[in-house]
Amino acid sequence: MGLDEGKPQHQPTAWMYGWLLPGIVVGAAALLVLLGDPGRIWLRYDRAAIAAGEIWRLFTGHFVHLGASHFALDAAGLLLVWYLVSHRFTAAQWLQITLLTILGMDLGFWVLQPQLAWYVGLSGLLHGLFAAGIVPGLRERNPEAWFLAAMITAKIIYEQLVGPLPGSEASSGGAVIVAAHLYGALSGSVTAAWLCIRVRP
């Protein structure tokens, strides 16, 4: 058995593999939007339902949205973040960062935000991915990375002291849970730092 040299071999490119993870996330979130309110209510992070045993909500709650406008805003943010920092880690490492960021956010919600009844959206995960992608640049003393780190730090501090950025609630169609941004950024950056230390020669 051998290759047929007379036909072009259509191999997946590195570019296709590099965008596979955000493609899956955006595609899944888009499909969940089609489920409407019943799907959102069934899949959202819901403290009472989780306490009753509906554990899947710890994961699915980060991929459902209040509506199409909320989804579009988060999807655009994810693609922008991925464009800026995706080259910093391998696909397997980004998968670890994604899962551990979600876990860190859930722990933060459960332990530190007992008053949070429910939550939906990708925004916390976006902050985690963005923060994670900045970490290797900080270790390399990259000026661009330090600038981006200053931006996200200033944003999170503003949100914790003042509240959501002006216009963010109107554009998303509901209340913005700024604690998600904090927990996401912390979880993502800690995971990225751990990966950087683990792979150090």
CB burial class (10 A; 0-12, 13-18, 19+) of residue 152?
middle
Q: What was the pLDDT predicted at 199?
A: 61
**Of 130, 112, 115, which Cα lies nearest the Cα of 74?**
130
Does residue 20 register a pLDDT over 80? yes
Residues 6+ apart with CB under 8 A from 169: 175, 176
Can you tell me the distance from the alpha carbon of 125 to that of 4, in angstroms, rounded to the nearest whole number? 44
Does residue 7 register a pLDDT over 60? no
Q: What was the pLDDT predicted at 9?
A: 43
SS3 for 7?
coil
CATH homologous superfamily for 14-198?
A: Rhomboid-like (1.20.1540.10)
Q: What is the DSSP string of 22-66?
A: HHHHHHHHHHHHTTHHHHHHHHSEEHHHHHTT-TTHHHHTTT--S
Does residue 174 register a pLDDT over 70? yes
Q: What was the pLDDT predicted at 10?
A: 42
What confidence category does residue 63 fall into, taking pLDDT thresholds of 50, 70 and 90? very high
Domain ranges for the chain: 14-198
Does residue 16 register a pLDDT over 80? no
